[in-house]
Amino acid sequence: MYFCNLKIKNMHFISEELEQYVEQHSQQEPELLVQLFRETHQKVLQPRMLSGHFQGRVLSMLSKIIAPKTILEIGTYTGYAALCLAEGLTKNGILHTIDIKEELVAIQKKYFDLSPWKNQIKPHLGNALEIIPTLNTTFDLVFIDADKENYIHYFNLIVPMMNPGGIILSDNVLWSGKVLEELNPKDTSTNILVAYNQIINQDPRVETVLLPIRDGLTVTRVL
């Protein structure tokens, strides 16, 4: 009941003091990610898009629990989430990560090459809807964190490529609380996210739980 009346700003669903408490009582991020976080905020536009400490540790923990052989990330940004997800890869596992922004390639490569998974992370530059069908593999874990307008397309493309029991993580599904507001027909992203949340909750091929982590993180298990 409180949630419906909550004034939501900049993805804060709980007080900043509670967020700090949560971070202080969660596993610390590796030093490499601290450096990447700092450089992203210094040099890249819209640094709030970066997963950050707490969500990064959630991604790391989920990946370690799943122990995936193959991971797909849609939306690399500067590579923070990819490095978190890579922490759970099996010894010979592979992580494919896709982004369309060429200007981010240098910072991605810098930190991927500094990581223990430099030979296991395979970055791709271009349109994810075109690249994914060319990968010729199946996935144990997928993280969708790209253009919201294509979330439904990504989901429908990915589900047949998932291994049974595989997990699809979808970020920003609460969209700073806009999913609760009266829909504006011109706000394409919000309208699609509202539809997306309904689709993945009703699709008989999967089971889904939506977690109020940061800007909303959906965990979807493929049956």
| pLDDT for residue 45 | 84
| pLDDT for residue 49 | 83
| pLDDT for residue 46 | 85
**Angle (nearest 5°) at CA 104 between 98 and 105:** 70
Burial class (CB in 10 A: 0-12, 13-18, 19+), 135: middle
Question: Domain residue spans in the chain?
Answer: 14-222
| pLDDT for residue 6 | 43
CATH of domain 14-222: 3.40.50.150
| pLDDT for residue 14 | 79
Q: What is the residue-level pLDDT of the chain in tens, covering all 223 positions?
A: 334 444 444 556 778 899 899 999 999 999 999 999 999 999 998 887 888 899 999 999 999 999 999 999 999 999 999 999 999 999 999 999 999 999 999 999 999 999 999 999 999 999 999 999 999 999 999 999 999 999 999 999 999 999 999 999 999 999 999 999 999 999 999 999 999 999 999 999 999 999 999 899 999 999 9
